[in-house]
Structure formats: structure tokens, C-alpha cells
Amino acid sequence: MPTAFASTLLQRLTDAYSIKIETRDHPDALLHRTTVWVAVDQATRAVYVRSVRGPKGNWYRRLLANPDGAMALSDERVCVKAVPATTAEITLVSELFRRKYLNDQHMLAIQRPEVLPATLQLVPREA
């Protein structure tokens, strides 16, 4: 299993406004795609997403139940496993979102205290 995303993919994720997260309730279930913001920590090469609806978000709940998903970025689809973020990572992701989406009218919604726990790290996995 790959342990890190390729540098070129990390740069594309850094530059991307949003990505699609692909989730399923269970491995044989219908595929769901949701557009989400993405943040990359360049220091650790970690990739993070957060549900603007917090723990009530459908895609977030599906990834908690079945952490094997995928992220799609224009012409590339990458298999991922979702891992709940630590408290320190949640704080870091909030800062990454503030920097990346500073001028976006929806930035404050992704920073509300009730949505912070719905932060996930995406790590590579085999298909």
C-alpha cells in the first residue's frame, strides 16, 4: 500500500478549489459523490477534508461507517482511506482552510465549532 501521495498530486490538491469525495454505505452499495474543500499540509504531506454540515453530513457519516473511499480531481481518481483527525490536526486544518479560502463567502461555515469534529485525513490505499 502506498504510504504517501505523489508530489504532483499534492500540488494539484493544493491548487484545486474543490474535489469530489466518493463514498458508499458499504462496499456493494450505490456510489455517492460530493464536492468538498480540501487542504494539504505541505510539512507533513497530509490531505484533509471537513464536512460543512459537521457530523450530520452524509458523506462524512458514510466514510466513518466505511472508511474506504476515493477522491476525484478532474481527470484523476485516487483510492483513499479516511482517518479521523486528531485535535491538533483539526486546529491545523482550520488554519489551512483560513489561508486557502480566505476570500470565500463560505469560509466561516467550515470553521463553526460544531463542524470541527467532522475533519478527516485522507490516506492512500490500494484499489
Nearest to 74 by CA among 23, 16, 2, 10: 16
Output the pLDDT for position 27.
84
Q: Is the per-residue pLDDT at 65 higher than 90?
A: yes
118: CATH: 2.30.110.10
**With 90 as the cut, is the pLDDT of residue 124 above it?**
yes
Q: What is the mean pLDDT of residues 62-71?
A: 96
pTM of the model: 0.94
Range of the domain at 14: 7-124
| Amino acid letter, residue 62 | R
Residue 38: the pLDDT is: 98
Query: What pLDDT shows up at residue 127?
Result: 78
Cα 60 to Cα 9, 34, 83, distances in angstroms = 22, 10, 11
Q: Count of domains in the chain?
A: 1
Pairwise CA distance, residues 56 & 118, whole Å: 9
What's the whole-number mean pLDDT along residues 93-98?
98
Does 1 map to a domain? no
Query: For strand 119-124 and strand 46-50, is the pairing parallel, antiparallel, or unpaired?
Result: antiparallel
The predicted pLDDT at position 46 comes to 97
* pLDDT average, residue stretch 31-36: 97
Is the per-residue pLDDT at 2 higher than 80? no
Q: 72 in a domain, yes or no? A: yes
